[in-house]
Amino acid sequence: MNYIFLLLVTFKIIKKKLMQLKEIMGFQTAHSHGAKWIPQPIFKGKEVPIDVQENSLFQKTTLNFIEHSQSNSNYILSGYDSWMVRHPSALNSFERLMKNAIGKRIILFLDYDGTLSPIVNDPDRAFMSEEMRATVHEVATYFPTAIISGRSRDKVQDFVKLNNLYYAGSHGMDIMAPSMPITSSAGEHIEIAINKSCTEVPFQPAKKYLPAIREILRILKNEVEEIKGAMVEDNGFCVSVHFRQVQEKDYGFLEEKVKCVLENHPQFCLTEGKKVMEIRPSIKWNKGNAVEYFLDTLGLSSCNDILPVYIGDDRTDEDAFKVIQSREQGYPIIVSSVPRETRALYSLRDPSEVLMFLSSLAKWRKNAY
C-alpha cells in the first residue's frame, strides 16, 4: 500500500516538473486581453509540501527525488534557456501573439544583417536567400513594411531587391518614406523636400555632415590598410570599420587608429556592433527615431489600433525596442542564439527562425481574411 502511494506522489511530482519544462520552452498558457503590453511570466518553482508524519521511506525517497529534480531544473534554467524564460520564442508564442493582433493594424520593421541575412565574414556578401526575399515580399503585400539597417540605404536596397516596402539606411539617418507632413515625437515640425511625383522623398537629418564623413572615410582607408583583415565600409551617413577577420593581437592597434582619427572630428561618436566599429554624427537620431518617423509619415503615430513589430539582432536595434516599449503596444523581437541584455519581449534564434516567423505571419493574414 505504501508502495502504491509513493508511486502516485512521484507521478504527480514528475507531472509538475514537465509542466515547468513546458513553460521554459516557450509554451506559456497565460491569456491577455487586448493587444497592448504582454508582461512575461517569470518562472518560479513551487516547493512540494512534505507531510512529516509519513513513514521514513516515503520521506527519504520523495526528498531525494525533489533534490534531484531541482538540481536538473537549475541546469535547465542555466544560460540560454534561462534567458528564454524572460524572452520567450516568438515562434512558440505565435498563436497567442496573433490572438492579440486581431482587429489591429500590424506594421513590420526589420533589420537586415543577422536578421534577414546571416552574419558573414565579408560584408559585401551578406546575401539574403531567395526564400527569404519571397517571404518578405509576401508579408509586405499584407502589412506596411520597412527595413531599417546600418548599411547605406542604396546598399541595403540592392541586397533586398524589393520595391513594395520602405528603406532606412545608416541607422535611420537616410530614409525613403511616403511624402506627407510629419512632426517629431516632441511635436516639432520637420521640413522635408517633396519630389515632383509626390510619392517618396528622402529624409536625411545628418546631411550637413556628409563632407566630414567623406574626409573621415578617406583618412581611415589609408590608416587601416596595413592591418590585415580590417575593412572600411562607406555606409552613407556613417563609416563602418569591420574587424571580424582581424587577428586578436591587432585589434588594439586598429581601435587606437580609429579613435585617433575621431579625435579630430569631435562632432562624431564611435559605437561598436558585431565585430564592427562605427563612426556616426553625434545627433539625436537612431533606429528608434526612424520607427517614429515611419509611423508619423504613415499617419499612424497617434493610433491606438496599431501593432508595430520590430525584429533585429544588433545593439542599435535596442533604440527601436525602447520606442515600442514606450508605446506599450507592439512586439519587439530580438534575434540571438546567446543570452544578452535586451529590451525585447520576445526572441528568435537566427535568420532561419525569422523566416519561419514571417512565413507564419503571412499565412495567418491570408487565412484571416
Residue 313 CA to residue 113 CA, distance in Å, equals 8
CA angle 323/329/335 to nearest 5° reads: 65
Mean pLDDT (the chain) is: 81
Q: Is the pLDDT of residue 272 over 80?
A: yes
Average pLDDT estimate for 357-362: 98
Identify whether the C-beta of residue 89 lies closer than 8 Å to the C-beta of residue 121.
no
- Residue 172's nearest CA partner among 261, 86, 31, 295 is 295
In tens, the pLDDT along 118-151 reads 999 888 999 999 999 999 999 999 999 999 999 9
323 vs 329: CA distance, rounded Å: 10
Q: What mean pLDDT do residues 63-88 have?
A: 62
Supply the pLDDT for residue 50.
Answer: 34
Helix (H, G, I), strand (E, B) or coil at 231: strand
CA angle, 208 as apex, 202 and 213 as ends, to 5°?
100
pLDDT bin (cut points 50, 70, 90) of residue 79 is confident
Q: How far apart are CA 257 and CA 328, in angstroms?
A: 42
Element spanning 203, H or E: strand 200-203
Q: 113 in the Ramachandran plot: left (φ > 0), alpha (ψ -120 to 50) or beta?
A: beta
Lowest-pLDDT choice from 38-42, 132-136, 215-219, 263-267: 38-42
| Residue 267, SS3 per DSSP | coil
- Residues in a beta bridge with 332: 310
Residue 12's pLDDT is what?
57
pLDDT at 63: 39
Q: Which residue has the higher pLDDT, 187 or 20?
A: 20
Q: Sign (positive/negative) of CA torsion 198, 291, 133, 136?
A: negative
Residue 185: name the closest of 80, 306, 305, 291 by CA. Answer: 291
> What whole-number distance in Å separates Cα of residue 164 and Cα of residue 138?
9
Q: What's the pLDDT band for 54 if we cut at 50, 70, 90? A: very low
Contact (CB, 8 A) for 334 and 357: no
- Whether residue 184 has pLDDT greater than 60: no
- What phi and psi values does residue 136 have, to the nearest 5 degrees? -60, -40
State the Cα–Cα distance between residues 130 and 157, nearest whole angstrom: 15
Amino acid 309: pLDDT: 98
Greater confidence (2 vs 176) lies with 176
List residues bridging with 306 in a β-sheet.
105
User: Residue holding cell 587606437?
Assistant: 256
- What is the mean predicted confidence (pLDDT) over 277-294? 95
| pLDDT over 70 at 47, yes or no | no
DSSP 128: P
Which residue carries 591587432 as its cell?
250
Q: Specify the amino acid at residue 53.
A: Q
Q: Is the pLDDT of residue 320 over 60?
A: yes
